[in-house]
């Protein structure tokens, strides 16, 4: 067999997806150690230019893969069966520092986060930790310490953020799946920019509990969610991370069947509200409107009702989210032993965030049910809300470079005007790929479900995927790299 043929087979295997790879392992067509070796080779070739991984756990991943092989041989049923997964570098992996996009190393985590522990229990192999902007505060993947992460579809555009490293890793085939975290859109935005499925489940469905020495204080805004190439992979990863934790800051929602079950049930006709109304006053570009309008026509052809209808976004709701985020950010910064290594803009934002007292954050949190009910009233009789993900297509690298906190915040509003309401309400939401635009950049739509109803989103996304397949679309990463190199 020729080396070229081997390379082609490896390339196909790299993009096979989480569910299919786990099946291949169970059928003994490939071993977990072979998968780790395959992805380590791709990381070695692609990451020097894409700059996705903050750290690669090569030897450790090989040892974990060997351990998974022994568990499988002993008869354990492992849904993830030795599949390598990347973890965003704000989520704890035992024995590895969580740098959170900064240059401040507070030492290795003593334990895995709850989400990582559950992934390991399901048979995943943690292969490395991925870049983000400092503390995930910006929806790109650039930092003074770790540099710029590139989009595999266009090396001069952002992969989005803040989970941009995880998204770029999956899109380029350096891993089949990854974790992200989402406090205002940071799973869904990079999914849209990189042509992936990105799910933010119901608040509390996946615990955000970290190691004992770390604690999130974002008042339930933060969610952990999967990034993957297909709906089935997304459902599988989400199910693996789901479950309550004792003494968790965020109570778990009512138990729900696994999302994999939703993929086995035909999608019923749904009432879908379509909206282009942003939460904040920014212009919504034609480039992001187009895929929503096209998807609306496709959904109508599949028997769904799609009506243009806008939620209400009270000013008090916007103020409440801002208060919660700023107060949470201030508490996060307070955990640091020093702040002099933070970017100057971040130090300024930290000073401003300290102006939001705890009592105001508590008041904003207590107002959530009332504000959410008011905002949802016009669409209360709809099953799903469909919007763009961002107000603009993926931007060029350096979009925030040279801007102070105020001007950077105004620029950031173009990324989050459709995504941050669900972090406040806790509702599930998903970014779904729809195609590639004339510039070669992925397009996407944003689907928002009723509270505790991830199942409808997954079922609808799977239906869209079945009639408009996107999983075989792959970025021309290696061709682009040859141009750069």
Long-range contacts of 148-151 (CB under 8 A, 24+ apart): 148/51, 148/397, 148/398, 149/50, 149/51, 149/52, 150/49, 150/50, 150/51, 150/397, 151/193, 151/194, 151/394, 151/475
Give yes or no for a contact between 251 and 210, defined as CB atoms under 8 angstroms apart: no
Q: Which of 113, 163, 166, 186 is catalytic?
A: 186
Contacts of 139 (CB under 8 A, 6+ apart): 133, 160, 161, 162, 184, 185, 186, 189, 412, 415, 416
Q: What is the DSSP letter of 208?
A: -
Residue 477 CB: number of other CB atoms within 10 A? 23
The predicted structure's pLDDT at residue 98: 96
SS3 content of the chain, % helix, strand, coil (to 5): 40, 15, 45
Structure token pair of residue 138 = 């910006």
Secondary structure (3-state) at 386: strand
Rounding to the nearest 10 degrees, give the CA dihedral for residues 432, 434, 437, 442. 30
Give yes or no for a contact between 254 and 246, defined as CB atoms under 8 angstroms apart: no
The predicted structure's pLDDT at residue 70: 98
**Containing H/E element for 272?**
strand 271-274
Q: Which of 441, 447, 449 is nearest to 299 (CA)?
A: 447
Give the domain CATH number at 410: 3.90.1300.10
79, β-bridge pairs: none
Look at strands 177-182 and 84-88 and give their pairing.
parallel
Dihedral of alpha carbons 470, 186, 310, 428, sign: positive
The C-alpha angle with vertex 38 and arms to 225 and 177, in degrees rounded to 5, equals 10
Total residue count of the chain as it appears in this document: 485
87, β-bridge pairs: 129
Gyration radius of the chain over CA positions = 21
Q: What is the pLDDT along the chain (485 residues), one digit of tens a residue?
A: 444 447 678 889 999 999 999 999 999 999 999 999 999 999 999 999 999 999 999 999 999 999 999 999 999 999 999 999 999 999 999 999 999 999 999 999 999 999 999 999 999 999 999 999 999 999 999 999 999 999 999 999 999 999 999 999 999 999 999 999 999 999 999 999 999 999 999 999 999 999 988 765 678 999 999 999 999 999 999 999 999 898 888 888 999 999 999 999 999 999 999 999 999 999 999 999 999 999 999 999 999 999 999 999 999 999 999 999 999 999 888 888 888 899 999 999 999 999 999 999 999 999 999 999 999 999 999 999 999 999 999 999 999 999 998 999 999 999 999 999 999 999 999 999 999 999 999 999 999 999 999 999 999 999 999 999 999 899 987 776 776 65
Q: Which of 178, 110, 287 is nearest to 162 (CA)?
A: 178
Structure token pair of residue 349 = 């934002």
Dihedral of alpha carbons 228, 233, 238, 241, sign: negative
**Containing H/E element for 423?**
helix 421-425
| Residue bearing tokens 């190439």 | 229
| Active site (annotated) includes residue 88 | yes
The predicted structure's pLDDT at residue 483: 64
| Residue bearing tokens 């750069």 | 484
Rounded CA separation 478/219 (Å): 41
Q: What is the DSSP letter of 176?
A: S
Residue 345 CB: number of other CB atoms within 10 A? 21
| Active site (annotated) includes residue 230 | no
Rounded CA separation 60/189 (Å): 31
Q: Which of 98, 113, 133, 162 is catalytic?
A: 162
Peptide bond into 162 cis (omega under 30): yes
Look at strands 84-88 and 125-130 and give their pairing.
parallel
| Active site (annotated) includes residue 98 | no
Helix axes 32-50, 3-14, angle to 10 degrees: 90
What does residue 195 show for φ and ψ, rounded to 5 degrees?
75, 40
Number of domains in the chain: 1
Give yes or no for a contact between 242 and 253, defined as CB atoms under 8 angstroms apart: no
Rounded CA separation 83/239 (Å): 15
Rounded CA separation 474/470 (Å): 9
Look at strands 384-387 and 271-274 and give their pairing.
parallel
Give the domain extent around 67. 1-482
Tell me the Ramachandran region of residue 270: left when phi exceeds 0, alpha when psi lies from -120 to 50, beta otherwise: beta
The predicted structure's pLDDT at residue 484: 62
The predicted structure's pLDDT at residue 216: 57
The C-alpha angle with vertex 440 and arms to 478 and 183, in degrees rounded to 5, equals 90
């Amino acid at each position: 067999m020729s080396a070229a043929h081997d390379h082609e087979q490896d390339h196909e295997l790299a993009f096979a997806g989480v569910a299919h790879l786990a099946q291949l392992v169970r059928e003994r067509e490939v071993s977990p150690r072979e998968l780790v070796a395959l992805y380590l080779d791709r990381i070695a070739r692609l990451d020097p230019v894409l700059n996705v991984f903050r750290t690669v756990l090569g030897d450790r991943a090989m040892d974990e893969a060997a351990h998974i092989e022994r568990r499988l041989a002993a008869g354990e049923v492992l849904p993830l069966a030795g599949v390598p997964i990347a973890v965003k570098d704000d989520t704890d992996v035992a024995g590895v520092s969580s740098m959170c996009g900064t240059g401040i190393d507070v030492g290795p985590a003593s334990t895995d986060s709850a989400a990582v522990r559950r992934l390991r229990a399901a048979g995943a192999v943690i292969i490395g930790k991925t870049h983000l902007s400092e503390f995930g505060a910006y929806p790109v993947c650039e930092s003074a310490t770790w540099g710029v992460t590139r989009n595999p579809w266009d090396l001069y555009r952002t992969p989005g953020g803040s989970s941009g490293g995880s998204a770029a890793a999956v899109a380029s085939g350096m891993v089949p799946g990854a974790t992200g975290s989402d406090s205002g859109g940071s799973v869904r935005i990079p999914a849209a920019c990189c042509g992936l499925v990105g799910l933010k489940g119901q608040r509390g469905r996946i615990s955000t509990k970290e190691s004992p020495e770390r604690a999130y204080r974002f008042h339930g805004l933060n969610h952990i969610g999967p990034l993957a190439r297909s709906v089935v992979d997304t459902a599988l990863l989400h199910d693996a991370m789901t479950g309550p934790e004792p003494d968790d800051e965020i109570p778990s929602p009512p138990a729900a069947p696994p999302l994999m079950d939703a993929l086995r049930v035909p999608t019923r006709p749904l009432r879908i509200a379509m909206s282009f109304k942003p939460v904040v006053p920014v212009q919504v570009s034609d480039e992001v409107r187009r895929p929503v309008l096209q998807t609306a026509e496709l959904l109508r052809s599949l028997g769904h009702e799609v009506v243009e209808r806008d939620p209400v976004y009270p000013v008090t709701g916007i103020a409440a989210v801002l208060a919660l985020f700023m107060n949470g950010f201030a508490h996060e910064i307070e955990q640091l032993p020093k702040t002099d290594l933070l970017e100057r803009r971040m130090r300024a934002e930290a000073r401003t965030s300290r102006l939001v007292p705890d009592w105001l954050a508590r008041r904003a949190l207590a107002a959530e049910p009332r504000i959410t009910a008011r905002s949802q009233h016009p669409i209360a009789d709809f099953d799903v809300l469909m919007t763009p993900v961002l107000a603009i297509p993926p931007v060029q690298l350096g979009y925030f470079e040279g801007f102070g906190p105020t001007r950077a915040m105004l620029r950031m509003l173009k990324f989050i005007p459709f995504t941050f309401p669900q972090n406040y309400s806790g509702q599930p939401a998903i970014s779904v790929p729809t195609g590639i635009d004339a510039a070669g950049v992925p397009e996407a739509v944003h689907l928002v479900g009723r509270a505790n109803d991830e199942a409808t989103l997954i079922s609808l996304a799977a239906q869209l995927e079945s009639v408009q397949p996107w999983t075989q679309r792959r970025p021309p990463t290696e061709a682009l790299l040859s141009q750069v190199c």
